[in-house]
Structure 1
Amino acid sequence: MSNHVTRREFLNRSVSVAGAATVAGAAVQTVAAAESPQPASVQSAPTQPSPPAASADDAAPSAAPAEKVPCGQLGKAKISRLMLGGNLVSGFMHARDLRYVNRLFRAYMTEEKIFETFRIAEEHGINTVFETGAAFVAKYNERFQGQMQFIPHIKVEIGQGEQSLKDHIKQQVDLGAVALYVWGVAADNLVKAGRADEIVRAVELAKKHDLPVGVGSHSLLVPIEC
């Protein structure tokens, strides 16, 4: 029997043996890997939630208290030297012929905005509203434990009966007034009409309620006459 192997046969046999060896080697590695002990899996420690980052407000020192408006004594009441005018509460604005201003203001100055105004005012020591807005002052004080005070006006008209004037003054006092004053528009009209005596009568009737009483005006003729 001849042992002669041609070159083609040698190459074919070599390729077959090499392929079988590769498959066998891979199988051995797979079995070895399966039989070798596996290291215990490392479980990561549960992640702890990071503490919340301090905000700028938390880190910053507390704001200095607002500087307070100085007060003066008016009768039994302590009144801030700066007061809130009732126009900015009731919405009766001095707008000349700009008829839309009052509607625009009332749309902006809601009840909550009025209460916000009172709160900011109190923070700065302003403790009194004068002229109009008694209902808002009372509601604010009740709802927010405020200390806002109120000085209403007295509306005096020419030919007004004494009982009518007395009732009107008492009504204003019952609003929680800490003082009273004759409304500036009324005083202007009375002096212009030569009826300053009506102002005197209103002041004397109001003084019976043991409250400070003043006279408002827009015209210099009123303080000159009084």
Structure 2
Amino acid sequence: MTDRVTRRHFVKTASASATLAAAGAGGLARGDDAKPAQPGKIVAEQQIPQAELAPGMTIGRMLLGGNLLTHYTHSRDLRYVYTLAARYNTKEKIFETMAIAEAHGVNAVVIHTATGVVDWLQEYRNKHGGKMKWIICPTANITDDMKEYTDACKMLRDIGTDSIYLWGVRGDQLSGIDLRGNRSTPRPDLMAKAVEAAKNVGLPAGVGGHRLEVIKCCEENDIPADYYVKTLHSAAYPSVDINHDNRWSFTPEETIEYMKGVKKPWIAFKVMAAGALTPREGFTYAFQNGADFCLAGVFDYEIAEDVATMNEVLALPTLTNRPRPWIA
């Protein structure tokens, strides 16, 4: 059996998704009638170990990624995939995905404030009893007066968000280099204000970025982030240099070396390069090279197998004395 049902095989597997969900990808005790999974009513064969991301906030070492839930699939030039994911990941399927994740110890979702997200997060928690923790990055504009961003942080606090972090797109821009490599004047002052805006509403605050410059900007300017959300994946896939929504970890070796000296928890994201690498490849590379947590975009039928894979990776002897000590 392969490490995962890859997105290249999604068309084939989506047609059989009801069967796969009923079987829980081999990891759930589910009824023969394949009723939608409900929070607290799923029995999982394995769970992900937990660690402290920030004071008072313990989460699983695997976090549920939000992009597939918002249908942002990074499907390169395959234009139909976005619609296909949207047809599959309905609101009900999203709730089922989160319930299955919770059962496996994947108890935090990382997501941005796309249209409708706040509403269905609240519905899942308040109506269906979901226990998923919310780590949310506001997409609000960051300006000198910080009004829009500050208001967004207050709103997220009021609805029950567990932590707020600076969206990676904004982090890149404020560090002086965006995702496409365009240069601008760094604004560490605004980056610091974004972190303070989250802390001022009483929540743990992180900073995200695709570029290593984001982390360097924070460290060199003593920006008091509680944790970092930084890309990490290898270049071991054929399309890595096509330069068409194909790469998110631009300097992995430099990132690995720099992060050895960073004393804050690190959530690695895009570890599978949006489906170009297997979970085993992505998790192994990330954890061996210093990540404390891995963010994974998964469909419901992938969760059980991916959790089993991560547990096998976490048990590798090479992780006992890895070059970057475990911070969390």
TM-score with structure 2 setting the length: 0.46
SS at match of 2:209: coil
Asked if the contact 2:47/2:104 (under 8 Å) is kept, the reply is: yes
Q: Deviations over 1:74-129 (max 9, x none)?
A: 33232122111111211122223333221111011111211111111111111111
Instruction: Report the residue type matching 2:139 in the other structure.
Output: K
State which drifts further: 97-106 or 79-88: 97-106
Asked if the contact 1:181/1:215 (under 8 Å) is kept, the reply is: yes
Q: Unaligned 5+ residue runs, structure 1?
A: 1-56, 58-63
Equivalent residue, structure 1, for 2:119? 135
Asked if the contact 2:141/2:148 (under 8 Å) is kept, the reply is: no
Take 1:120 and 1:111, find their aligned partners in 2: how far apart are those partners? 14
Going from structure 1 to structure 2, the CA distance change for 1:152 and 1:65 (only over 3 Å counts) comes to closer
Equivalent residue, structure 1, for 2:202? 210
Going from structure 1 to structure 2, the CA distance change for 1:109 and 1:156 (only over 3 Å counts) comes to closer
Going from structure 1 to structure 2, the CA distance change for 1:197 and 1:96 (only over 3 Å counts) comes to farther
Take 1:119 and 1:219, find their aligned partners in 2: how far apart are those partners? 33
State which drifts further: 125-134 or 197-206: 125-134
Take 1:190 and 1:65, find their aligned partners in 2: how far apart are those partners? 42
SS at match of 2:76: coil
Is 1:105–2:94 an aligned residue pair? no
Asked if the contact 1:134/1:150 (under 8 Å) is kept, the reply is: no
Take 1:103 and 1:209, find their aligned partners in 2: how far apart are those partners? 37
Take 2:140 and 2:215, find their aligned partners in 1: how far apart are those partners? 17
Instruction: Report the residue type matching 2:191 in the other structure.
Output: I
Equivalent residue, structure 2, for 1:80? 60
Aligned ranges 1:51-200 → 2 under 5 Å: 65-73=44-52, 74-132=54-112, 133-155=117-139, 157=141, 159-192=143-176, 193=184, 194-200=186-192
Q: Unaligned 5+ residue runs, structure 2?
A: 1-30, 32-42, 177-183, 219-328
Equivalent residue, structure 1, for 2:247? none
Asked if the contact 1:153/1:172 (under 8 Å) is kept, the reply is: no
Structure holding more helix per residue: 1
Asked if the contact 2:140/2:148 (under 8 Å) is kept, the reply is: no
Deviation at 1:205, TM superposition (A): 2.0
Deviation at 1:157, TM superposition (A): 3.8
Q: Deviations over 1:153-182 (max 9, x none)?
A: 033645353222211211222231111100
Deviation at 1:207, TM superposition (A): 1.0
Take 1:153 and 1:109, find their aligned partners in 2: how far apart are those partners? 21
Instruction: Report the residue type matching 1:171 in the other structure.
Output: M
Asked if the contact 1:83/1:128 (under 8 Å) is kept, the reply is: yes
Going from structure 1 to structure 2, the CA distance change for 1:156 and 1:116 (only over 3 Å counts) comes to closer
Q: Deviations over 1:42-101 (max 9, x none)?
A: xxxxxxxxxxxxxxx9xxxxxx85221111233323212211111121112222333322
Equivalent residue, structure 1, for 2:39? none
Instruction: Report the residue type matching 1:106 in the other structure.
Output: A
CA RMSD of aligned residues (A): 2.4
TM-score with structure 1 setting the length: 0.66
Q: Flag the structure with larger Rg.
A: 1
SS at match of 2:126: helix
State which drifts further: 155-164 or 98-107: 155-164
Going from structure 1 to structure 2, the CA distance change for 1:175 and 1:91 (only over 3 Å counts) comes to farther
Take 1:146 and 1:158, find their aligned partners in 2: how far apart are those partners? 31
Instruction: Report the residue type matching 1:68 in the other structure.
Output: Q
Is 1:221–2:205 an aligned residue pair? no
Instruction: Report the residue type matching 1:79 in the other structure.
Output: I
Take 1:220 and 1:183, find their aligned partners in 2: how far apart are those partners? 14
